[in-house]
Structures are given as C-alpha cells and as structure tokens.
Amino acid sequence: MKLKAEITRLTRIRGTSKCVLFRNGKKRSMTKSKTRRAATTIDMGKLFTASFLRKQMNRRAKSDASQCHVMMRFRILFLITMLLTNIAAIVVAQQNVPGEIVQVHTGIRHEAFDRLLKKYVNERGLVNYGGWKQNSGDIAALDDYLKQFAPKAEPVASSNESVAALVNAYNAFVLQWILANYPTESIWSLKDSFKAKRHQMNGRNISLDEIENGALRPTIGYRAHAVLVCAARS
C-alpha cells in the first residue's frame, strides 16, 4: 500500500485516536480514518504489548512440551520394541544351540534296520507296531542296531555318511520309544519324547532334539524335517 511505503515510524498516543507520522524529521497528523487504516495495517503497540508476548510465550511453551511428550513416547516404544526383539532372539538361540556336537563313528551297518523297515512298514508309510511288539526277536534286533551308536565316535564318519547315520538313528530311536510304550495313541502323549536325554550315542545320553537341532539342521538345514519320523501322520 502507498501509505505503508511512506511510513517510517508509527507511534500510538494513548488516550487519543490520533497517530503521528514522522517523515524526514517533520511531524504530520493524519485524519481519524487514515489513522485507523494505518493502525490496522501496522499496529506496533498492539503487537508488542506484555499480554500478547505472554500469550505467545505460553503457546510456544505448550508446543515445545507437546513435542517433547511425543518424542518421549516414541523413545519409550522404540526401547520396548528393541528389548522384546532381543529377548525373542535369545530364546530362539537357546532353543537351537546344543550342549555338544552330535557325532557318529564310521562303519555303522544299516542292513538290520533296513530289513525291519521292509517287514513292518507298508507302502503308505504306516508302521505295524502291534506285530512288531509281539516279535521279541525283532525288538532285540532294533536294540542291537542302535547299540552301534553308543560308543564314542572314533573315527568320526564323513559328512555324507554321518548325515545318513543320524537320520536312521533318529528314526530308529523314535520307533524304539513307541514300541517300549505301545499301545499308545501318540508319541506326543508320552512324557518328554523329544527333550529327554534317554538315548545312547557318542558315549553319552542325548535327546531327539539334540540329534535334529544339534547335528542335522546345521548340516542339511530344514530338509531334516522331511526325512525325520515323528511317529505321526501327515
């Protein structure tokens, strides 16, 4: 506005409706309408009153406090998320890390186990536990087969030989456990079927979970699940 361009300093005289315009060191008065127009355009006295400044400071303080509160909540949620993630990772690691490496020695013979499987497992993969349970000779044959795994692994089998032997040992231990408790509806109804260290291997007692997670999964990954028998239909 033209009037705006001409104003170099505008002061308001309390108690009156007049404003004084200083231009080039000369004093000049304005009409009431022009005064209102100028005061509406640039009312410096109103902008910098103490109450106005207090309001602005209060608004700024509230805004800063609100932002601080939001940031604090975000930091707390972030810390909680990181804590829960770390706890979950620790739990998974503790479940999958074995106490010792499971090994087998070279030269284990599997012919007896192969004969038993051909005799008691049909083409659909179902096991005739009833017939096997009644044949004490075949029960003893399974036990004798598994005794090969009991001694300390010296010398240790090669990688491929070890994987094949561990898969057979796991499945044979499952069959032995079921036959020892037959009749039973499911291996899951028996106590600690996979966690209890009741099987002799490599000079110590181990669990089925140790064979799977401590020996087979590190070697062949999750393919181990496809070749291990849990005495369940799938």
Could you read off the pLDDT of 146-179 as tens digits, one per residue?
999 999 888 888 888 988 899 999 999 999 999 9
Name the DSSP class of 212: I
pLDDT in tens, 75-127: 555 555 554 444 443 344 344 444 467 888 889 999 999 999 999 999 988 99
pLDDT the model gives residue 116: 97
pLDDT the model gives residue 17: 42
Q: How far apart are CA 84 and CA 5, in angstroms?
A: 64
H/E stretch holding 10 reads strand 10-12
**Global confidence as pTM:** 0.56
pLDDT the model gives residue 189: 87
**Is the pLDDT confidence value at 225 over 60?**
no
pLDDT the model gives residue 228: 72
> Among 34-38, 53-57, 66-70, where is mean pLDDT lowest?
34-38
176: exposed, middle or buried (C-beta count within 10 Å: 0-12, 13-18, 19+)? middle
**Is the pLDDT confidence value at 135 over 60?**
yes
| 152 in Cβ contact with 202 (< 8 Å) | yes
pLDDT the model gives residue 88: 41
| 41 in Cβ contact with 3 (< 8 Å) | yes
pLDDT the model gives residue 168: 93
Closest CA to 108 of 214, 202, 228, 218: 202
Average pLDDT over residues 24-30: 50
